[in-house]
Amino acid sequence: MGVVHRIGAERQAPVLKDAVEGFLAGVSNPNTARSYATALRALVERFGPSRPVTALEGEVAADRVAAWFIERWGARSAATVNARLNALASAVGWWRDQGWITEDPLRRLKRCPVEPDRTRSLDRGEVAELLGREGIALRERTLWRLLYESAARASEVLGLDVEELDLRNRRARVRRKGGAVDVIVWRTGTARLLPRLLGGRRAGPVFTTDRRARVELPPGDIDAGSGKARLSYRRAAELFEAATGGWTLHQLRHSALTHAAEDGANTSTLLAFSGHTSVASLARYARVSGEALARWQARRDPAARKR
């Protein structure tokens, strides 16, 4: 978020649609704004765009918000539930800063606990098989390889525009989680695929939909030449999960960082590779995979050394 400008209490609170759009306008990271918009525009759809934002206050309203949220997302994964709740909480906090509301309409809701998963890293053989698999469309083949070779978040890569690519030097500027501008780099596999995917395009989203956009979108999310829209995270995730039997796009990032740690990358390199600013954030990625643990154990096996 940018600088918060408090609006005087004497001003009438806006309708819900305007309150949502006002909040989203201040979110500087476009990927975060798109993610937040999913939950917030669903809220507008449920409670009505013309209702004042103050309609969310009171015990009855809190009950209704909780019932709607649980019905809408209660059956989804803990990560999705928490992401939607974070979006709503960020907006509510901003509205309270403006003096438009004084209560928390989310007070009936709690974040879902996320159990630690120590098996999210894929074996190198699994990654190699996936990236070399026949019959995969060029767009998906390029996206998956770029995600693994760069260890970038899927939202960062899907947010790339052609102008941000430095094909000669195999790098690109991305906006990291939190809004910081950073650089990602890739290897030969991606370097060979990207020019084929772009087909000479010099502007617009790197990864686009198969067909022209059917709804009005911001100009930055449309390729002017073809009219195709930026590929959404949701669609990219659906295609990946369908092709892999349930793997997630994040597993490519997780695997890349785990494999780099196994190969001896130092902490500074891993921080740059991941885009993290905290060493603590690397802990879950630095855990060696079962494959690497088996190789280590095999090298220490006395019986193996006698052969």
- E strands, the chain, where? 165-166, 171-175, 181-185, 208-212, 228-230
Task: Give residue 306's pLDDT.
Answer: 59
The closest alpha carbon to 148, from 130, 133, 169, belongs to 130
The closest alpha carbon to 248, from 77, 2, 40, 55, belongs to 77
Task: Give residue 7's pLDDT.
Answer: 43
**Contact predicate 252/121, CB 8 Å:** no
The closest alpha carbon to 276, from 202, 180, 192, belongs to 180
Task: Give residue 5's pLDDT.
Answer: 47
Greatest CA separation found in the chain?
Answer: 85
User: Helix 138-150 crosses helix 188-198 at what angle (to 10 degrees)?
Assistant: 140
CB burial of 208-227 (b: ≥16 within 10 Å; e: otherwise) equals: bbeeebeeeeeeebbbeeee
For 124, list phi and psi in degrees, rounded to 5.
-60, -35
The closest alpha carbon to 12, from 130, 128, 99, 118, belongs to 99
pTM recorded for the entire structure:
0.60
The closest alpha carbon to 213, from 200, 196, 239, 232, belongs to 232
Task: Give residue 114's pLDDT.
Answer: 67
Neighbours of 18 (CB within 10 A): 15
From first to last of its 307 residues, the chain has per-residue pLDDT tens of 444 444 444 457 899 999 999 999 988 777 778 888 999 999 999 999 999 999 999 999 999 999 999 999 988 888 788 889 999 999 999 999 999 999 999 999 998 886 655 447 888 889 999 999 988 999 999 999 999 999 999 999 999 999 999 999 999 999 888 788 899 999 999 999 999 999 999 999 999 998 887 777 788 888 888 999 999 999 999 999 999 888 999 999 999 999 998 888 888 898 999 888 888 777 777 666 667 777 777 777 777 655 5
Strands 171-175 and 165-166: antiparallel
Query: 169: which residues sit within 8 A by CB, 6+ positions away?
Result: none
